[in-house]
Amino acid sequence: MSPDEKNQLAEEDLSLSEFLVPDTPEIKEIKSIYNKEYEYSEYLSEIEFSIADYYYNANRRVTDKDVIRALKNIKENRDKPISFFEKSLEKEIVKSLVEPLEENLLYDHEFTLVINYALWIIDNRSWLEGKQGYVKWITYVLGFFSEEEEKKYERQFKKFAQKLGVSAAQVDMLLMKKETEDLEDFFEDEDLFKEGSLFEGLNPEDIIGEDSTADDLETGFFLMTDDEKFDFLLDKGPKYPELVQDYLLDLMGKEDFDKIQEFYTKFNEKHRNFSPLQLMVGTIYSEKDPSLAKSYFEEALRSLQESDEFSEEVKKELRNQINYLINLLFEESAEEVEEKAGEDKQGKKTGKRGRKSGKKDSESEKV
């Protein structure tokens, strides 16, 4: 075995946690590295370079969601050896972080904040077109594209940005063609914040001010683990019904109906008569189990009736919607019964013909 091969095997046994220092109470107080990026640039740049390099040279199909999953997996399993990570992108990112961590150790909490910041940057580019908005953007910014590819990307980017009402100057900023000190000028155009525009509903302070939502990065829902999401929504779900819906749909996509039931039971114990949850769960089960779905819809009607949260007008509208869903389920169930009866009837006829054919076959065998 060559020295290089031995070094590679030894590297595979390393884990990132070996280069992370136990946290202190002061370190744990840090909410995010926002506005301190330069202090962690050597780690962030390695992550970004690995992503761009992997996309450009290894897998042109990798998506932003793939990158998010990879970073979350690395954060949650930083105590595992490099050999634990099976996906190429994860391995590339982990290996790229070994050298800077060897040279400058981080606190464990700092490391999670670095990953969180990288995740926030990806989420902050979620408005870009397609499933590879961030991946293509970082590949462009880091100069991986050829001259021809770069021009093509710029054309597509400008065309998409134009649809959103973004000016040429603002596009240059987004493509990193302007210096950072020009940032305030970038936001002087009021049209950037009008209805239907790129930053609709926001103010410049929301993006570049000290009170940016990035300061709450650590508690950002999209950064939470599945268990953290479960606990967060169990506590604050009534305030964030849209997040409850996203969480339940994600569980449905994974076909984790046991978890849906567990969440529903515990949520109901803590927040009784929350009809939106009953409506969501009923909708989820509408195809899988219409009878169970109907029971959830009926429970939603009862909860709605007892609730003081909605006006009578809103209650009436919601009741109409729920009754429509129940009637729709009844109609589908009736159609399924008729179809099944037709299939059974057809099956019996086919079965009789089949038995006759079988008899002829057996007789021909005798002959």
For every residue of 207-242, DSSP letters joined together read HHSTT-GGGGGGG-GGGS-HHHHHHHHHHHGGG-HH
Closest CA to 57 of 11, 12, 88: 88
For residue 80, count other CB atoms closer than 10 A to its CB: 15
Of 206, 240, 272, the last residue of a domain is 206
Domain membership of residue 336 (yes or no) is no
Q: Is 179 left (phi over 0), alpha (psi -120 to 50) or beta?
A: beta
In a domain, 155, yes or no: yes
58 and 128 in a single domain? The answer is yes
Both 198 and 268 in a single domain? Answer: no
Residue 15, beta-bridge partner list: 81
Whether 230 is covered by a domain: the verdict is: yes
CATH number of the domain encompassing residue 318: 1.25.40
State pTM to two decimals.
Answer: 0.54
Note whether 289 and 259 are within 8 A (CB).
Answer: no
Domain co-membership, 141 together with 165: yes
Q: Give yes or no: residues 92 and 152 share one domain.
A: yes
Report the domain count for the chain: 2
Q: Are residues 198 and 284 in the same domain?
A: no
25 and 130 together in one domain: yes
How many whole angstroms separate alpha carbon 346 and alpha carbon 340?
Answer: 10
pLDDT of residue 40: 95
In terms of C-beta density within 10 A (0-12 exposed, 13-18 middle, 19 or more buried), how is residue 258 classed?
A: exposed
The answer to whether position 365 is within a domain reads no
CA distance 193 to 197: 6
If asked whether residues 36 and 76 sit together in one domain, one would say: yes
Separation between Cα atoms, residue 44 and residue 100, nearest integer Å:
10
Q: Is residue 105 part of a domain?
A: yes
Question: What own/partner pairs with CB < 8 Å and gap ≥ 24 does 157-162 have?
Answer: 160/128, 160/129, 161/198
Are 242 and 319 part of one and the same domain? yes
Which residue carries 């001259």 as its tokens? 147
pLDDT digits (tens, 9 = 90+) for 108-164: 999 999 999 999 888 878 778 889 999 999 999 999 999 999 999 999 988 888 777
What type of residue sits at position 254? K
Q: Which of 206, 241, 274 is the last residue of a domain?
A: 206
Boundaries of domain holding 78: 9-206
Q: Are residues 179 and 305 in the same domain?
A: no
Asked if residue 345 is part of any domain, the answer here is no
Q: Is 56 part of any domain?
A: yes
Residues 135 and 16 in one domain: yes
Q: Which residue type sits at 259?
A: K
228 and 190 together in one domain: no
Are residues 296 and 250 located together in one domain of the fold?
Answer: yes
DSSP type of residue 193: G
The contacts found for 301-306 with CB under 8 angstroms, 24 or more apart, are 301/275, 302/273, 303/272, 303/273, 303/274, 303/275, 303/278, 304/275, 306/273
Q: DSSP of 269-318, one letter per residue?
A: HHSTT-HHHHHHHHHHHTTT-HHHHHHHHHHHHHHHHH-SSS-HHHHHHH
Digits of tens for pLDDT over the chain (367 positions)?
444 554 554 567 889 999 999 999 999 888 888 888 889 999 999 999 999 999 999 999 999 999 999 999 999 999 999 999 999 999 999 999 999 999 999 999 999 999 999 998 888 787 788 899 999 999 999 999 999 999 999 999 888 887 776 667 777 777 876 554 444 454 455 555 555 554 555 554 444 444 333 334 334 666 667 788 899 899 988 888 878 887 888 788 778 899 999 999 999 899 887 888 888 888 888 878 888 888 888 888 888 777 776 677 777 777 787 777 777 766 655 455 455 545 554 554 444 444 433 433 443 333 3
Over residues 263-300, the pLDDT tens digits come to: 999 998 998 878 888 888 888 888 788 888 888 888 88
Residue 3 lies in a domain: no
Buried b / exposed e over 49-69, threshold 16 CB at 10 Å, is bbbbbbbbeeeeebbbebbbe
| Residue given tokens 């050829």 in the structure block | 146
Name residue, tokens 């569980």: 251
